[in-house]
Amino acid sequence: GYDGMAAIVHVVRTLKGKIETDKAVAALKGWKHNSPRGPIMIDPVTRDVVMNEYLSEVIMKDGRLFQKTIGKIDTNAMPEASGLAASKAHAGRLYHINDKGNVPTVFITDKAGKISQRFELPLANASTADTESLGYGPCSGKTCLFIGDIGDNNSSRSSISLAWIEEKATYTAAEKLTGQISMTYPDGAHNAEGFFIDTNGDFVIFTKNLVREPKRPGQKKKTSAGPSGIYRLAAAKIATG
């Protein structure tokens, strides 16, 4: 996209057209860019892309759908926001979960992105959890937030996990989980970044797989997008663990 091309232009200009991999990586450390979607920087230590994260909603205007920005997330206060769910019981309330590399934490904001509450999650595997997504739905006659420890970039995990906590008006800084289960795919490990809780309480997950292409002489290994899958776990099995 636009920002990626801006980064390439920066490297070409910095190295005066003499591109070498290590020097190109070094040239991008600490790079700053004013993008149409806000300022962007590449962290010189972690090499993470640091940028604004926005909240948007889809509106209908003149018979067409448009995306309207309604808020902005403070990425310093909420690092690597990943999953998002809207409350049905509390108007205007949004739930967020952060990604791997941070203490698994749920943040509660309004639609403008202002944080009102936050609490850490005592996941069984908190130190290695890759909490990519968050869901909202029924659980044993109540309404719960579901937290998916489902990330697996190398498709090597023996299991993934799903935790849930009952929805409340107010949370303490360290809440107890309502439940947590481990899950395995029927056909081996997969990477995933999204799931939802169906209206009947079933867990539905979408996998994202990469295919490693054969290495050719003089070239590095390449990967390409592989087939995605959809898997379902019945609500009854979640309730019984």
Residue-wise pLDDT for 195-210, tens only, equals 999 999 999 999 987 7
Q: Cβ contacts of residue 139 below 8 Å, gap of 6+? A: 146, 164, 166, 178, 179, 201, 235, 238, 239
H helices, E strands: number in the chain:
3, 18
Structure tokens that stand for 94 in this block: 């949004």
By C-alpha distance, which of 140, 145, 122, 147 is closest to 205? 147
Which pLDDT belongs to residue 206? Answer: 95
Strands of the sheet containing 131-139, edge to edge, are: 131-139, 142-149, 160-166, 179-183
- Structure confidence by residue, pLDDT tens digits, 108-151: 999 999 999 999 988 887 778 889 999 999 999 999 999 999 99
Which pLDDT belongs to residue 37? Answer: 76
Residues of the chain with pLDDT under 50: none
Q: Are the beta carbons of 163 and 180 closer than 8 angstroms?
A: yes
Q: Encode 56-79: b = buried (16+ Cβ within 10 Å), e = exposed.
A: eeeeeeeeeeeeeeebebeeeebb
DSSP labels, 140-167: TTEEEEEEEE---TTS--S-EEEEEEE-
Strands 160-166 and 230-233, how do they pair? unpaired
In 10 A of CB 17, how many CB atoms? 8
By C-alpha distance, which of 231, 156, 239, 240 is closest to 190? 156
Q: How many Å separate Cα 241 from the centre of its chain?
A: 25
Give the whole-angstrom CA distance, residue 136 versus residue 232.
Answer: 16
Which pLDDT belongs to residue 220? Answer: 63
Structure tokens that stand for 207 in this block: 């996998």
Which pLDDT belongs to residue 159? Answer: 94
